[in-house]
Amino acid sequence: MATKNFHRFLDISQSSAVEVKSVTYVLEDMEYFNTDTILLLRQKADETKKRMLALMRYLKSFSQ
């Protein structure tokens, strides 16, 4: 069974994925990476967030 600290870690992780996605908009404005790279980074950030949230829901289903 996952601990309360692990749940907190997952919550922080999904928030960090949102933060990474936000930074890609700055990187895009600065033309730091090409468009394909920016889109890939956003896709990976979204995918990571979804996986973290899914894992949190899965673990929560055992605690109810």
| pLDDT tens per residue across span 5-58 | 999 999 999 999 999 999 999 999 999 999 999 999 999 999 999 999 999 999
The pLDDT confidence band at residue 64, using thresholds 50, 70 and 90, is low
User: Which pTM was predicted?
Assistant: 0.85
For the chain, give every domain's residue range. Answer: 4-28+35-63
Residues 6 or more apart whose CB falls under 8 angstroms from that of 64 comprise none
Distance in Å from the first CA to the final CA of the chain: 12
**10, two tokens:** 């997952």
What pLDDT shows up at residue 18?
96
What pLDDT shows up at residue 4?
86
